[in-house]
Structure 1
Amino acid sequence: MSHHKVISLAEAVRRHTWDGMQYASGAALPVGSDAIVFGRELLRQGRRDLHAIFHCNTQQLNLLAAAGAVSRAECGFSGLEGFGFAKGLGRAVQSGAVALEDYSNLAMPLRLLGGALNWPFVPATVNVGTDLEFRSAFDPEHSPNRDKIRTVTDPFSGRTIGAFSTLQPDLAAIHVTLADPEGNAIMLGTEWSRFELSRAAKRVILIADAIVETDCMRQFPNLVRIPGLLVEAVVYWPFAAWPQASPGMYDGDEAHMKAMNDALGSEAGTAAYLADYVDGIDGVDDYLDRIGRERIAALSRGPTSFLLDPYRRWILPHADALALSREGAAA
């Protein structure tokens, strides 16, 4: 495993992120798998002025916006489903700190697909004729706006249709259930646009709940939706999507989802949350201790835990996965 791609979370952010970059994540459901811990580390390292691209808002974008790290955002859904409005993101948008460009849940993966295929634009038949077409947060002075979704002529029918700009973000931090040291990955549960995002982004970092032997990927090659050749680095971090869910691994932490969202609704609450769950965290084990070992055990015994059964034999022990992280960070 001398040529593996596993590095520490801190090293991944240090090497592959910068202020003002286009940063993509949140490619699963707003309450599902997302590399939330990557956003925590972006804040720890003081990244600012990010242009965030999220298929759907998650607690990561909610946190980044509340903490002042994002100046622009594009997403297809801005709520937190059953947990209500995203209070940190909402506060940032209402204050003018974040310009939020709104598209639909179909438009975002289409734009990522266009980026993955290196198309100049994506033909659009959705969002056309609505405020999504004619209102732009990036150019609010012009309404109706004719540049956000432009028009093209279908060369076959002569019909006028819309055209989306494509997305090719500088970096995508993608949460996966299982990754091997070479960067091959399996995602359990809803995939949403993580497949398209992994092909559209200029660089991809995987944030994995577990590291498995490569024999696992050889046993289930049809499930390897993100191959290692697309991946810059792999970060091992259990409960990386917490307080959201990772099917097969852990359920969503409903109590913390509510408490986190409430905290992000104010500057004082955000500062307290950052002190406890961002700046105050010293490594993986401290992070897990902060969640609480009893809570971790309870969340890990959920109704989806059986989904992990076919893969358990290949999962590396915690100490071995951490050793890979240290080795990769030192290389």
Structure 2
Amino acid sequence: MPHEKLISLAEAVRRYTWDGMQYASGAALPVGSDAIVFGRELLRQNRKDLHAIFHCNTQQLNLLAAAGAVTRAECGFSGLEVFGFANGLRRAVESGRLALEDYSNLAIPLRLLGGALNWPFVPATVAIGSDIQYRSAFAPDDYPAQKKIPMVTDPFTGKEIGAFLPLRPDLAAIHVTLADPLGNAIILGTEWSRFELSRAAKKVVLIADALVDTACMRQFPNLVRIPDIIVEAVVHWPFAAWPQSSPGMYDADEEHMVAMNKALATEEGTAAYIRDYIDGVTDIPAYLDRIGRDKVEHLRRSSTSFLLDPFRQWLLAAEEVAP
């Protein structure tokens, strides 16, 4: 089996990230699939001053904000749904360490679409006439904000509409369910804006729960939402979205979701969380041990497991996928 784009998690962060970069991650809801393990490695390698772009806040942004790695962020939703507000993100914003620019859940994918299509700006018919337009965390003394969503004139009708700045992040670390070693990917469950993000980002690294033979991609070409031509590298990492869920693979770890958010509410709790769940957890066996092997098996017994059935015959064993 060729390993053209397979690299380790640590190498992906070393090769494709740097301090001060614009970093985006792909997620499906704040409790769904996100490349959270990539954010853990960003902290292990002490990346800082990141400008984060998330369609939805997840435990990754919550963690990066709590640890002080992010100084600017843009997202369309900042909560954690049933698990409450993101304590690490709130603490970073309230302390003044992080400027959080607020957009809507439609505005962010529209801005990513604009980046993907290389538009100079995105016509905005949403988020105008409200404080989403008038308030800017990046220019707090400018009210109403002049540069966040400026008004432009439609040349065909003469109507005044808004203009979004397209998003073109330096790197997108995108969680996918299945990838092959060439960089083709299949996403099970809700996709949200991972399709648009993969086309808008300057570079894309896939974080895959499982690897499959390329024959799988040839069997289901209509399901390949991210093709190899736009992917720089592939990282294989089971439970990459933990403690969040990956449809077809595992459920959310609700107990850890609560405990993690509670820990990130304080500097002391954040330091303890990093010590217990990030420092020294540098390979997959250690990572699964830290989650707990019994819990891993419990989370795998998901009611969505049937979604993986059409693809099981192409799943690659661990010894076949070492980068």
Q: 1:261 to 1:26 in 2, by over 3 A?
A: farther
Q: Distance in 2 between matches of 1:3 and 1:39?
A: 24
In the aligned structure 2, how far is the partner of 1:315 from the partner of 1:12?
23
Structure 1 position 17 matched with structure 2 position 17: yes
2:193 matched residue in structure 1: 193
- In structure 2, stretches of 5+ residues that fail to align are none
Quote the Cα distance in structure 2 between the aligned partners of 1:3 and 1:301.
Answer: 30
Worse-superposed segment, 273-282 or 60-69: 273-282
Please tell me whether residue 107 in structure 1 is matched to residue 107 in structure 2: yes
In 2, Cα distance between equivalents of 1:192 and 1:132: 21
> Secondary structure, in 3 states, of the residue corresponding to 2:40?
helix
Take 1:166 and 1:302, find their aligned partners in 2: how far apart are those partners? 38
In the TM superposition, 1:78-227 aligns within 5 A as 78-227=78-227
CA distance in 1, matches of 2:142, 2:152: 20
Map of 1:30 onto structure 2: 30
Superposition TM-score, scaled by structure 1 size: 0.97
Deviation (angstroms), 1:2: 4.2
1:3–1:268: structure 2 CA closer, same or farther, 3 Å change rule?
closer
Q: What is the rounded CA distance, in whole Å, between the counterparts of 2:276 and 2:215 in structure 1?
A: 39
State how far apart, in whole Å, the 1-side matches of 2:215 and 2:230 are.
19
Q: Which residue of 1 aligns with 2:44?
A: 44
The 10-residue stretch of structure 1 (241-250 or 22-31) with the greater mean CA deviation from structure 2: 22-31
**% identical equivalent positions:** 75
**1: distance between equivalents of 2:280 and 2:265?**
20
Cα displacement string for residues 215-272 of structure 1 (whole angstroms, at most 9, x for unaligned residues): 0000000000000000000000000000000000000000000000000000000000
Name the structure 1 match of 2:230.
Answer: 230
User: 1:256 is matched with which residue?
Assistant: 256
Query: Structure 1 residues 89 and 223 mapped into 2: Cα distance closer, same or farther (>3 Å)?
Result: same
* Segments ≥4 residues shifted beyond 3 Å: none
CA distance in 2, matches of 1:2, 1:192: 31
Task: Name the amino acid aligned to 1:208.
Answer: A
Q: For 1:150-188, what per-residue CA distance to the aligned partner results, in whole angstroms no more than 9, with x for missing partners?
A: 111111111010000000000000000000000000000
Tell me the CA shift for residue 3 of structure 1. Answer: 5.5
What TM-score do you get using the length of structure 2 for normalisation? 0.99
Does the CA contact (< 8 Å) of 2:27 and 2:35 recur in 1? no
> Contact between 1:31 and 1:245, CA under 8 Å: does it hold in 2?
yes
The gaps in structure 1 that reach 5 residues or longer are 326-331
What is the rounded CA distance, in whole Å, between the counterparts of 2:66 and 2:3 in structure 1? 38
Give distance in 2, aligned partners of 1:171 and 1:273.
Answer: 26
Aligned to 2:279: 279
Aligned Cα RMSD in Å? 0.7
Distance 1:216 1:301 in 2: 23
Partner secondary structure for residue 92 of structure 1: helix
C-alpha separation in 2, matches of 1:147 and 1:95: 25
Equivalent positions of 1:312-323 (< 5 A) are: 312-321=312-321, 323=322
Alpha-carbon distance in structure 2 between the residues aligned to 1:178 and 1:80: 25
Secondary structure at the aligned position of 2:39 is classed as: helix
User: In structure 1, what is the equivalent of residue 62 of structure 2?
Assistant: 62
CA distance in 2 between counterparts of 1:21 and 1:145 reads: 24
How many residues are aligned here? 323
Contact 1:13 1:41 in 2 (8 A): yes
Match of 1:72 in 2: 72
Q: Are 1:296 and 2:299 matched, yes or no?
A: no
Shift of the 3–285 alpha-carbon distance from structure 1 to 2, 3 Å rule, reads closer
1:272-327 deviation per Cα after TM superposition (whole angstroms, max 9, x unaligned): 00001111313111000111111111111111000000001101012222x2x2xx
- Whole-Å Cα distance in 1 between the matches of residues 71 and 122 of structure 2? 25
SS of the equivalent of 1:37 reads helix
- On the 8 A contact 2:72/2:99 being kept in 1, the answer is yes
Q: CA deviation at 1:27?
A: 3.1
Local SS of the residue matching 1:6: coil
SS at structure 2 position matched to 1:155? coil
Aligned mates of 2:318, 2:255 — CA distance in 1: 26
Q: Distance in 1 between matches of 2:316 and 2:63?
A: 31
User: Which amino acid letter does the alignment assign opposite residue 213 of structure 2?
Assistant: E
CA displacement, residues 19-65 of structure 1 (integer Å, 9 cap, x when unaligned): 00000014321100000000000000000000000001000000000
CA contact (8 A) 1:274 1:280 kept: no
